[in-house]
Every structure is written in C-alpha cells, then in structure tokens.
C-alpha cells in the first residue's frame, strides 16, 4: 500500500482496534459523531488540540496518528514481505501494522537484518573452508612436514649405527622442518582464529591485498604525484602482513605508477569530460593503451567503477569491488562474465550490459551494469612464442530506469555458482547452496 493513508484512516484503524465506538470517542473529545465520521473518512482536516485529545483517548502518540509510522520502517517491512512472499504477509496493511505495533515491526526488521548477516557469515565460512586454497595448501604442507619429521626422528632413534654424515644431515632436516612446522602452525592458528569470526577480513594474502586497496579507496595520490615510490607505500602498509601479499601489492602499485605516468589524472579527467566513461573511446582518442585506461578509470576517486583482472587461467588477480556486483572471495567467478568472453577472443574489446542475479539484487531483475572487457598480451611479445594474455573488465552501475533506453541485449550473469539462483544455467559448475541448503 503506498503511503497515502491519512490521519483519519489511522484514527479509525486505531479506534476499531481498541473496540471503541465512534459515538463514544466523539463524546469523549467533545465533537459530534458525524463530525468524527467525516474526519475518519479524511474529509475534514484535523490537527492541534483535537488531534491531541483523540490521541489521548486512543492511547497513542499524536505524531503517529498525524504522520503514520516511520517511513523507513515501512519500507523495510515491505522489503521483508517481498523477500518471503510465500508467507503471505498482508502487504496492503504494512503501514497500519507498523503504526499499531511499532515494537513488533522493528523486531521483524531487526530479525531480517540479522538473518541476512548470518547468511553472509555462513557464505563466507563455507567459502573459506571448502574453497580457500590458502587453507588447503597450509594444511597439506603441515602434514607433509610432520611426516618428514616423524620419519627422520625415528631413523635417528632406531638406527643403531648411523654414519656421522647421515646423522648430521638428518639433524639439519629436522631442524629445518621444525621451523617450517612452526610457521605452518602459526598460519593455521591465525586462519582459524579468523575463520571463527567471519567478519574479520584479513587472512589470506588475497584478502590482505584487498583490505589494503579498499582502505585507500584504490587511489594513491602520492603515486599520482610521484611523491612516494611503490616500495615506500608497501613498507608503510600495516595490512600487508605476509610476504606474498606485500610482493603482489608491490607489483600492482608499480603498475599503478606506470599507468599514472602514461595517463596522468588531469588528462584522464579531461578525457572523461569529453568522451564519457567509455574506456575504448578514451583509448582511441588519447592513443593510450586500453588496459591502462581501464585501470586508470578504476582508480579515479570520483567515479563509481569496479574492475577485475584475470590471468590466462581465469584466476582473478585484481579485484575492485562495487556495491551491487558480488565478486566471489576465493572460489571461481561466473564463466558468463564478459571478462572470460574477452579471454577467448584476445584483443577484441567488448562492451555489454550485464545484470547480476543473486542475493541482494532487486526483486524485478538484478543489478544492471555497463561492462567493458578486453584481453591484452602481458609482457614482451617474442618471436615464435605465444603471448600470455590477461583480461580486464571495468563495470559501472546503470540506474534501473535506463533499462528502457537500451535496445541491445542484457546479459544475465552470476557471481559464483554456489550463491547463484539461476538453476537452469548451461554454465553451472556446481549446485547452488540456495537450493540445496548449506
């Protein structure tokens, strides 16, 4: 029900709810029953003293009669009702429900929020435990090292006559393995500590890198002005705990610095003003590399844009997330992304509209994005050697009302199969937890 219900209706609703007769209420506040009837049917304005008096008899805040329930609360209740439509919530009475029972209404809204948070936590945890290569690799390494220690130690204990060279060698091996084991055990403890709190984000090197970039909003003013070197920034970054994260972040920042000098901020902003945010058009006009333009647009602080980069194996090596477009944390992404299509046709730029379906998408269709993707060779091109390609996809949100203005196709995509609701997708890799439960 739209918010058109008026004060009179709310008075009538409240009165009927309490079982008070119209004549009785009219009498209590000193007006005629017919006048109250006109008020209740919204044919007479009401305010001031009379409203206060009626509110007093009906035992309710006058503002609640005058303004209805808080509009945000009503909106959230409607969202909750739409999400689980099969429960048959009386959506035509949402406002009156919120007005009459604000406490219960807030409870519904709070529980819905809590359920969503729990769902996200479960998603993160299952993702970590089943798909995190960092965890699997660490566990495997610890077991391998334990095997080596056990085997070597028992040789030392059980072999009665052992040559001094062998003995020294096995001592060295055990010492070496003990150090590795300590590191592995620490990594596991750190990981499991974090796993018990799904909201803690910094664990694997990928997560450290992401936290590092997110904290700086993917923009580095000191690299733009060449005031600092990438090495300085990485050294001062508290988020980059592991050596692997630091070295990967350093590479990304070196690339950033190169890009910034190839296409400085002022020139980029000028190009956006003239050409819009189409990276291929900007590249064609400025002569800059398409990949550089995409990365530069993603680093532009005022532009709402996401960017993903994958290597030839399809592994995401860089991700700049964007609200409304879910990027899988560890598991592989949706093969329908233009990013992967670009990988199959190197050097051919793609511009598509995509719609991501899944949790959090709007009830009528998903979230709409303009996606630009291209695969370009990485590193130097050598004679008689196949180049290695890297694909990039820049994506920008499109408001839903622009849907009508676009005459091309809108390609439906997902985030990753496990949280994707499209059951009949030919690209599906594994069942969805949405259908099968956790």
Partner 1 sequence: MGRSVLLIEDEPNIIEAISFILSRDGWEVSTHANGQTALAAIAKKRPDVVILDVMLPGASGYDILQSLRAVPETQDLPVLILTARGQSKDRDMAEKMGASLFMTKPFSNADVLEAVRALVTS
Count of C-beta atoms within a 10 Å radius of residue 71: 12
Query: Which of 38, 50, 75, 139 touches partner 1 (CB under 8 A)?
Result: 139
Asked if 366 and 357 count as a contact pair (C-beta separation under 8 A), the reply is: yes
Comparing CB distances to partner 1, the nearer of 86 and 165 is 165
Asked if 128 and 195 count as a contact pair (C-beta separation under 8 A), the reply is: yes
Query: Which of 140, 171, 251, 345 touches partner 1 (CB under 8 A)?
Result: 140
CA distances for 66 relative to 21, 33, 227, 424, angstroms: 21, 20, 59, 50
Greatest Cα-to-Cα distance within the chain, rounded to the nearest angstrom: 114
Residue 191 CB, nearest approach to partner 1 (Å): 17
Per-residue interface string for the shown chain with partner 1, residues 320-359, x marking contact by CB under 8 A: ----------------------------------------
Comparing CA positions, the residue from 400, 298, 292, 393 lying closest to residue 351 is 393
Comparing CB distances to partner 1, the nearer of 145 and 290 is 145
- Residues within window 241-270 making contact with partner 1, judged by CB under 8 A: none
**Gap between the Cα atoms of 339 and 371, Å rounded:** 9
CA distances for 69 relative to 9, 52, 98, 111, 284, angstroms: 13, 17, 6, 19, 54
- Residues within window 165-224 making contact with partner 1, judged by CB under 8 A: 166, 169-170, 173, 176-177
Residue 193 CB, nearest approach to partner 1 (Å): 23
Residue 198 CB, nearest approach to partner 1 (Å): 25
Per-residue interface string for the shown chain with partner 1, residues 143-162, x marking contact by CB under 8 A: xxxxxxxxxx-xx--xx---
Residue 244 CB, nearest approach to partner 1 (Å): 18
Residue 144 CB, nearest approach to partner 1 (Å): 5
Residue 428 CB, nearest approach to partner 1 (Å): 23
**Gap between the Cα atoms of 219 and 297, Å rounded:** 10
Residue 158 CB, nearest approach to partner 1 (Å): 7
Comparing CB distances to partner 1, the nearer of 149 and 234 is 149
Comparing CB distances to partner 1, the nearer of 91 and 126 is 126
Residue 183 CB, nearest approach to partner 1 (Å): 15
**Gap between the Cα atoms of 19 and 62, Å rounded:** 19
Comparing CB distances to partner 1, the nearer of 157 and 364 is 157
Stretch that binds partner 1, among 85-93, 125-133, 138-146, 399-407 (CB under 8 A): 138-146
User: How many residues belong to the site for partner 1 (CB under 8 A)?
Assistant: 22
Stretch that binds partner 1, among 163-171, 210-218, 355-363, 390-398 (CB under 8 A): 163-171
Q: How many alpha carbons fall within 13 Å on the CB side of residue 424?
A: 0
Residue 139 CB, nearest approach to partner 1 (Å): 8
**Gap between the Cα atoms of 55 and 63, Å rounded:** 9
In order, the DSSP letters of 274-327 are HHTT-HHHHHHHH---HHHHHHHHHT-TTS--EEEEE-TT--EEEEE-BTTB--
**Gap between the Cα atoms of 1 and 90, Å rounded:** 10
Comparing CB distances to partner 1, the nearer of 164 and 380 is 164
Comparing CB distances to partner 1, the nearer of 152 and 392 is 152
Helices in 299-431 by DSSP H: which ranges?
A: 338-344
Comparing CB distances to partner 1, the nearer of 72 and 136 is 136
Comparing CB distances to partner 1, the nearer of 178 and 362 is 178
Count of C-beta atoms within a 10 Å radius of residue 330: 18
Residue 394 CB, nearest approach to partner 1 (Å): 35
CA distances for 134 relative to 125, 140, 247, 334, 341, angstroms: 14, 10, 16, 21, 28
Q: Is 282 exposed, middle or buried (0-12, 13-18, 19+ CB in 10 A)?
A: buried
Comparing CB distances to partner 1, the nearer of 147 and 186 is 147
In order, the DSSP letters of 68-80 are -S-HHHHHHHHHH
Residues lying near partner 1 in the complex (CB under 8 A) are found at: 139-140, 143-152, 154-155, 158-159, 166, 169-170, 173, 176-177
């Amino acid at each position: 029900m739209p918010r058109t219900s008026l004060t009179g209706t709310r008075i009538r609703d409240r009165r009927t709810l309490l079982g008070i007769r119209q004549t009785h209420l009219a009498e209590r506040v000193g007006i005629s029953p017919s006048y109250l009837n006109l008020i209740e049917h919204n044919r007479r304005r009401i305010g001031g003293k009379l409203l206060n008096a009626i509110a007093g008899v009906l035992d309710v805040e006058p503002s609640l009669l005058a303004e209805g329930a808080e509009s945000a609360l009503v909106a959230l209740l409607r969202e909750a009702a739409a999400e689980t439509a099969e429960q048959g919530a009386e959506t035509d009475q949402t406002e009156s429900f919120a007005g009459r029972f604000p406490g219960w209404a807030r409870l519904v809204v709070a529980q819905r929020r809590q359920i969503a948070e729990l769902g996200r936590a479960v998603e993160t945890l299952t993702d970590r435990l089943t798909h995190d290569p960092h965890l699997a690799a660490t566990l495997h390494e610890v077991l391998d090292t334990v095997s080596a220690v056990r085997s070597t130690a028992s040789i030392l204990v059980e072999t009665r006559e052992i040559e001094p060279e062998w003995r020294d060698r096995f001592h060295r091996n055990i010492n070496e393995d003990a150090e590795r084991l300590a590191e592995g055990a620490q990594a596991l403890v750190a990981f499991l500590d974090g796993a018990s709190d799904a909201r803690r984000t910094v664990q694997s090197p990928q997560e450290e890198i992401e936290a590092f970039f997110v904290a700086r909003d993917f923009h580095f003013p000191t690299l733009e002005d060449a005031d600092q070197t990438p090495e300085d920034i990485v050294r001062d970054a508290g988020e980059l705990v592991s050596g692997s994260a630091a070295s990967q972040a350093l590479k990304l920042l070196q690339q950033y610095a190169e890009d910034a000098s190839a296409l400085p901020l002022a020139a980029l902003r000028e190009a956006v003003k003239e050409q819009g945010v189409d990276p291929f058009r900007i590249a064609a006009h400025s002569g800059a590399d398409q990949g550089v333009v995409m990365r530069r647009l993603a680093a532009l602080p005022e532009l709402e844009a996401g960017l993903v980069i994958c290597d030839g194996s399809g592994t995401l090596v860089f991700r700049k997330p964007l609200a409304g477009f879910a990027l899988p944390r560890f598991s592989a992404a949706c093969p329908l992304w233009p990013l992967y299509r670009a990988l199959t046709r190197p050097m051919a730029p793609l511009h598509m509209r995509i719609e991501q379906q899944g949790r959090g998408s709007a009830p009528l269709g998903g979230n709409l994005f303009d996606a630009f993707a291209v695969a370009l060779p990485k590193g130097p091109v050598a004679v008689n050697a196949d180049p290695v390609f890297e694909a990039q996809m820049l994506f920008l949100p499109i408001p839903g009302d622009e849907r009508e203005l676009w005459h091309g196709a809108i390609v439906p995509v997902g985030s990753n199969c496990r949280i994707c609701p499209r059951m009949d997708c030919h690209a599906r890799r594994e069942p969805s937890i949405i259908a099968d439960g956790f």
